[in-house]
Structure 1
Amino acid sequence: MEVETDQTTKVKKARKNQSPWAIARRKFLKNKLAMISAVFLVFICIISFLAPYVTTADITRVNVGEMGLAPSTDHWFGTDKSGRDVFTRLLYGGRISLVIGMSCTFLIILLGTIIGSIAGYFGGFVDGALMRFTDFILNFPFLVFVIVVNSIFIGKVNGVWVLIGIISVLAWGGVARIVRSKILAEKENEYILAAQSIGCSPIKVIIRHLLPNVASTIIVQASLLFASMIVAETGLSFLGFGVPQTVPSWGNMLSVARETDTLQNKQWIWVPPATILTLTILSINFIGEGLKDAFNPKSAR
């Protein structure tokens, strides 16, 4: 019994001496729902990005003789109204939707972190000017701007990158406010005052001292944003203002569900993308909740 007590005491001491990142990693790995979601998301990403090696069917070829076929051994998920293989378009569509979600998330986090860090660190006039600009961005009519810009650039440039740019430019405001509030609280600590007293430049203080201490909040926000960006792409494409119809995406595949005949009699055309989209969004949200729980020092896990 004494040996077991000593071992338990050593384990508790070792855990107390762990860094916050090590503790968060251990707590996240113990979250079964988050781990299952992470495995599923990785699987979806791998199979989508390796689509050319998984299937050899042409995603653009219109086959009049195979229009609207039900699932079979030749077409696992059937064909759409243009005779294109639904399974193939599902994989290629996942690649587009995931790329848009990842790219938008990266750009939003980058812009929001830069502006929020500068505003929070310098304060005063700089903070006021940047936050008023952030308020303007947050109040900007998102849908109207997307429709107008999409109408201007349609057919002239790559519609996917136009959509990524529009969403990223209009969606960083929330991240900037969160980062600013964290920086304002963190910069009052003694180690920041010490770094300033020895002559560290503002950029060095922000990058080397402040951002590492607010990184956990940024990571959690990024995981939740990823799901939101995929939903945004899907909604815009469903309405016809997102990814061009010639480019397969989960949103474009779901847009056919607006037709009554397809919705009622040809469920194999829209049910697979709807199912995969729902499971992907749930997985990302569960991962986000797992990260939030892992980085929460008051968590009971």
Structure 2
Amino acid sequence: MSGMTANTESISKVATKKPVNPFWYKIRRNPLTLFGLFLLLLILLASIFAPLISSYDPTKINITQRFAPPSGDHWFGTDEVGRDIFTRILYGARLSLGVGVAVVFGAGLIGTVIGAISGYFGGKLDQIIMRLMDIVLAFPSLVLAMAVAATLGPNLQNAMLAIAIIKIPVYVRLARAETLALREKLFVKAAVTFGIKPWRIIARHIIPNALSPVVIQVTLDIGDAILLVATLGFLGLGAQPPTPEWGAMISIGWKYLLDYWWYPTFPGLALFLASCGFNLIGDGIRDILDPKANR
């Protein structure tokens, strides 16, 4: 009887034990993904609490402190007009991360909707949409982004639009491919048989089931978008001075690399860590959501 009681108690404990989230369990088993998550959380928290971490104004000029080397007063040194580089990197993280995430999520949303419509309806509409996407994809992404940003004018908003334009076709093709497979599924055909309107089928049955590859692509694209924002800023087609943006800081700082190494080095390091963090997380999510991915 005592043995049966012990077994009953052990079974009861197992039954009442909180189930483990398989998604979080797989992430914990991947040290590189955890490292990427740690990097991004560190950068994100530093940018959010920038006013508490640093008392300097990121745009205030102080000529008497120009090109001050890294020290206790200025951890990453100062730039050509005496602004604290560490402070500008903290505030620049808000802009770079925010723009990268906003652009990719916006492009992913628009591209997924267009791709689902194209794949579901097919016919001439599908051909027109896909030929337009092929035209965009025919150009090198950076060259097209530069052309669009230069045509619209050098500012951050136009740079965001340019990056979104070159990202949308990727999501259109992904969503279309998933939709072509999903529209042959029994639950979609059943919805058509019951007379449900096509737009409702797309919104409630197609898009939710086509999100897995889109989510993977989004996580991988954010790092690339941050690099593109920095590249356009480096070329003078993105954020304009005195806005604290990593690419713009590197654009000015590289001229002083030999004499004042800290000026371009620390913004470049911040850009590298942010991009690396998103790529590591993207790889981890891909391994979890994509059963065909092999490492």
Which of the five TM-score ranges fits, normalised by the shorter chain? 0.7 to 0.9
| Identity percentage of aligned residues | 34
Correspondent of 1:233 among 229, 236, 245: 229
Aligned to 1:53: 52
Aligned to 2:99: 100
Q: Is the 8 A contact 2:146 2:162 kept in 1?
A: no
Pair 1:279 & 2:273 matched: yes
Aligned to 2:159: 163
Partner AA of 1:268 in structure 2: W
Report which stretch shifted further, 178-187 or 137-146.
Answer: 137-146
Aligned to 2:287: 293
Considering only aligned residues, what root-mean-square deviation do their CA atoms show, in Å?
2.4
Write out per-residue CA displacement over residues 255-294 of structure 1, whole angstroms, 9 at most, x where no aligned residue. 12431xx111211111111112111111111111101100
1:1-301 pair list within 5 angstroms? 23-139=22-138, 141-150=144-153, 159-259=155-255, 262-298=256-292
Gaps of 5+ in 1: none
Q: Is the 8 A contact 2:114 2:172 kept in 1?
A: yes
Q: CA deviation at 1:201?
A: 1.7
- Provide the rounded CA distance (Å) in 2 between the counterparts of 1:129 and 1:298: 31
Q: Is the 8 A contact 1:48 1:94 kept in 2?
A: yes
| Secondary structure in structure 1 of the residue aligned to 2:73 | coil
Q: CA deviation at 1:171?
A: 2.4
Q: Is the 8 A contact 1:25 1:294 kept in 2?
A: no
Report which stretch shifted further, 205-214 or 216-225.
Answer: 205-214
| Secondary structure in structure 2 of the residue aligned to 1:264 | coil
Partner AA of 2:221 in structure 1: L
| Secondary structure in structure 1 of the residue aligned to 2:258 | helix
- Provide the rounded CA distance (Å) in 2 between the counterparts of 1:165 and 1:84: 30
Partner AA of 1:266 in structure 2: Y
Q: CA deviation at 1:79?
A: 0.6
What is the number of residues matched between the two proteins? 279
| Secondary structure in structure 1 of the residue aligned to 2:61 | coil
- Provide the rounded CA distance (Å) in 1 between the counterparts of 2:293 and 2:137: 32
Partner AA of 2:193 in structure 1: S
Q: Is the 8 A contact 2:96 2:245 kept in 1?
A: yes
Write out per-residue CA displacement over residues 162-181 of structure 1, whole angstroms, 9 at most, x where no aligned residue. 32122213321111111111
- Provide the rounded CA distance (Å) in 2 between the counterparts of 1:251 and 1:193: 50
Partner AA of 1:288 in structure 2: G
Write out per-residue CA displacement over residues 101-140 of structure 1, whole angstroms, 9 at most, x where no aligned residue. 0111111101111110100111111111111222233335
Q: Is the 8 A contact 1:220 1:292 kept in 2?
A: yes
Task: Rate the CA distance shift 1:128–1:238 in 2: closer, same or farther, 3 A.
Answer: same
TM-score, normalization: structure 2?
A: 0.87
TM-score, normalization: structure 1?
A: 0.85
Q: Is the 8 A contact 1:70 1:268 kept in 2?
A: yes
Q: Is the 8 A contact 1:138 1:171 kept in 2?
A: no
- Provide the rounded CA distance (Å) in 1 between the counterparts of 2:100 and 2:294: 32
- Provide the rounded CA distance (Å) in 2 between the counterparts of 1:270 and 1:258: 5
| Secondary structure in structure 2 of the residue aligned to 1:73 | coil
Q: CA deviation at 1:35?
A: 1.7
